[in-house]
């Protein structure tokens, strides 16, 4: 997985009824766009994320 600052990270809900979480990648800490990523989620909290199979990146093409 590769990402850039400004891309969106989506985390699928793990259980039925748990909504998907979405956040903006504000810092890439790995080399060449690889994880971990510092993410600011839509609820305002920030966290260091190493994405698993339940995650995908929406690239910011602008």
State the pLDDT at residue 62.
66
Cα–Cα distance measured from residue 12 to residue 4, given in angstroms and rounded to the nearest whole number = 20
Q: What is the domain range of residue 20?
A: 8-58
Note the pTM of the prediction, 2 decimals.
0.88
| Within-domain flag for 22 | yes
Number of domains in the chain: 1
| Within-domain flag for 2 | no
| Within-domain flag for 1 | no
What are the angstrom distances between the C-alpha of 62 and each of 2, 4, 7, 44, 55?
Answer: 17, 12, 10, 23, 22
**Contact criterion met (CB below 8 Å) for 35 and 51:** yes
Q: Which residues of the chain fall below pLDDT 50? A: none
Angle at 26 between CA 15 and CA 30, to 5 degrees: 85
| Within-domain flag for 53 | yes
Mean confidence (pLDDT) of the chain: 93
């Amino acid at each position: 997985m590769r990402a850039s600052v400004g891309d969106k990270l989506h985390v699928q809900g793990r259980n039925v009824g748990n909504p998907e979480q979405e956040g903006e990648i504000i810092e890439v800490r790995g080399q060449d766009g690889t994880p971990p990523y510092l993410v600011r989620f839509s609820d305002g909290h920030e966290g260091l994320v190493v994405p698993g199979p339940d995650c995908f990146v929406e690239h910011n093409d602008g």
